[in-house]
Amino acid sequence: MPQRTMVEALNLALDESMDRDDAVCIMGEDVGINGGVFRVTKGLHEKYGERRVMDTPLAECGIIGTAVGMAINGLKPVTEIQFSGFTMQAFDQIEQNMARLHNRTMGRFPMRMVLRTPYGGGIRAVEHHSESRETYWAHTPGLKVVIPSGPRNARALLAAAIDDPDPVIFYEPKAVYRAFREDVPEERETMPIGTSQVVREGKDLTLISYGAMMRPAREAVEDLVDEHGIDVELIDLLTISPMDSETLCKSVAKTGRCVIVHEGHRTCGIASEIIARINEGAFEYLEAPIKRLTGYDIPFPYFQTEQYFLPDADDIIESVRETMAWE
């Protein structure tokens, strides 16, 4: 099986979706000849031409707004917003049209479209290039929010997002883009949206994370199992919205303890929602308070200090051990 980076895996998903369906098109800033600033759309302009791979004017609101119209007209636009920090420019069109047109028109104009965008810290970037504001979209009815963690699930989930009848916000962990390679099969592969994955089964504690934070989480789990004898069950959320409460609650009902890790801000962050769902679905099994390890409620710091803002494996180990020690 060929080894691919996440960038190559995403490129593969786009290529095969475009190959299968003429209605799939790409829109964004510098996605054409340049292949996108992270090269996710590399080679597609050459292969499919400028009709299907469109370099747009520099206006995020314009990209999403016109893509909404393309979707009304039966096309399946896959838009790229260069950095998730710039999606705020498009908030208007996401909230007013992308998320609501299906409902407004009672299903006459379903929004088959994807907004792809790199999110998260760790690449020593300037301001507005490191945010994790997935909460905004999870809070918006009508959208789906997907965040892969590695090359293989990134490819399978992007293919599924393009096929999905609903509008999908697809956050790509840019710290993972070229961080490692993984087996990604040649043949087309999809994964269901709305389903989380138990990456490692365990009986002592449920560790929930997603996206770029899955790397330190895996590292921590290895250490916790080997060095501390804690049998951690690790869950990769994969879809933020709609959230797979069943998998989360089932796991916590088994382990009784839970730690949640994400780099997004704490207040009203995704961990808050997970805790609420576990409270509703597995409260009677809890043996310790659920702990959340998140970004602080401050703007993402300038990059000389970003490593202190982001949770790392040591922080996760500490949080898990604290939660295990709670009586």
Closest CA to 187 of 214, 148, 161, 152: 152
* 97, two tokens: 């049209």
- Written as one letter, the residue type at 220 is A
Does residue 238 contact residue 148 with C-beta atoms inside 8 Å?
yes
Which of 16-24's residues contact partners 24+ apart within 8 Å by CB, and which partners? 16/159, 16/188, 17/78, 17/158, 17/159, 17/162, 17/163, 18/44, 18/47, 18/48, 18/52, 21/76, 22/52, 23/74, 23/75, 23/76, 24/52, 24/75, 24/76, 24/77, 24/78, 24/162
Kindly indicate which of the ranges 162-170, 178-186, 203-211, 316-324 contains the residues binding another protein, using the contact rule CB under 8 A.
162-170
Binding another protein (rule: CB under 8 A), the pick from 43, 107, 185, 299 is 107
* Options 110, 179, 253, 312; binder of another protein; rule CB under 8 A: 110
Work out whether 96 is an interface residue with another protein (CB under 8 A).
Answer: yes
Site string for another protein, 212-251 (x = CB under 8 A): ------------------------------xx-xx-----
Binding mask 180-219 for another protein (x = CB under 8 A): --------------x-------------------------
* Separation of alpha carbons 85 and 273, rounded Å: 22
Q: Is 17 exposed, middle or buried (0-12, 13-18, 19+ CB in 10 A)?
A: buried
Binding mask 11-50 for another protein (x = CB under 8 A): --------------x-------------------------
Residue with smaller CB distance to another protein, 217 or 248: 248
x/- site string to another protein, residues 270 to 309, per CB under 8 A?
Answer: -------x--------------------------------
Cβ 70 to another protein shortest distance, Å = 5
| Choices 93-101, 130-138, 221-229, 286-294 (CB under 8 A): range interacting with another protein | 93-101
Q: Report the nearest approach of another protein to the CB of residue 106 (Å).
A: 5
C-alpha–C-alpha distance, residues 41 and 122, integer Å = 22
Residue at token pair 């800033």: 29
Q: Give residues 134-153 in contact with another protein (rule: CB under 8 A).
A: 141-142, 144
Strand bridging mode 3-4 / 182-183 = antiparallel
- Which is nearer to another protein, 92 or 315 (by Cβ)? 92
Q: Which is nearer to another protein, 194 or 256 (CB)?
A: 194
Candidate list 15, 39, 123, 166; residue touching another protein; CB under 8 A: 166
Q: Please answer whether residues 172 and 6 qualify as being in contact, where contact means their C-beta atoms are separated by less than 8 angstroms.
A: yes
